[in-house]
Amino acid sequence: MRTVRLLIAVSLPVLLLAGLTYGLLADTPQASIDEALAGSEAVEAPGFELSVLSEGTLGPPLARAVAPAFGDRRVALGELRGTPVVVNFWASWCDPCRREAPLLERTWRQAHDRGVLFVGLNQQDVLADARRFLRDFGTSYPNVRDPGNEVARRWGIVGLPQTFFIDSDGRVVAHVLGEASAAELRSGIEAALSGRPARVDRDGAGPAFDLEPVE
């Protein structure tokens, strides 16, 4: 009996630690988002409130719907509720981000007439480099800036680029991990407009550049 009690006393903390570790690993934001999408379920988008890097050019009908949210040079994702949003995480030092920039701009010019807002989220970047990136690629959709990686941690992001498609109720309905293709952007936009989740299969592809930890 004494041996059994000893085994229980030793095993119980190990099992509790293993369960806690599994919970921490399994419940990361991106894992939760991708697992939900794999099951054709939408998931509430993690929030952010960030400084505006570039207001972009909003034509009607988007100007009426979202321009006030950018008026104080800070914008929260929750302020955009009611509008389908495409959030693209990028940095000027990320080569795949540079490769996909022209396609994102072309797609934005087609999508904004349908009431879909693109928001670039610049991540862990030098301010002057980020501004030069936007000028070089003629980016005309709004961009916000996180000089650290707080938002990336909240969304479970460890590499760039990544693109999330959010419906008008603020739910993530599609996610592209890595450089997006035209077909993936079209699929994600349709999901954001319809509110029906879409799974994007990348055949194992992922972001080419990891984010560096910020102390």
Q: Is residue 56 part of a domain?
A: yes
Burial of 9 (0-12, 13-18, 19+ CB in 10 A): exposed
Report pLDDT for 214.
Answer: 39
Q: Is residue 12 part of a domain?
A: no
The beta-strand segments (E) located in the chain are 43-44, 49-54, 74-76, 85-90, 117-123, 143-146, 159-160, 162-166, 171-177, 209-210
Q: Is residue 6 part of a domain?
A: no
The tally of domains found in the chain comes to 1
- 3-62, pLDDT tens digit by residue? 444 343 434 443 333 333 223 333 456 778 888 898 999 999 999 999 999 999 998 889
Q: Is residue 87 part of a domain?
A: yes
SS3 state at 82: coil
Q: How many CA atoms lie within 13 A of 92 on its CB side?
A: 18
Please state the pTM of the whole predicted model: 0.82
Q: Is residue 21 part of a domain?
A: no
What residue numbers bound the domain in which 152 lies? Answer: 26-210
CATH for 162: 3.40.30.10
Q: Rounded CA gap, 1 and 18, in Å?
A: 26
Q: Is residue 20 part of a domain?
A: no
More confident residue, 170 or 207: 170
Q: What is the DSSP letter of 185?
A: H
Q: Is residue 153 part of a domain?
A: yes
- 65-74, pLDDT tens digit by residue? 998 898 889 9
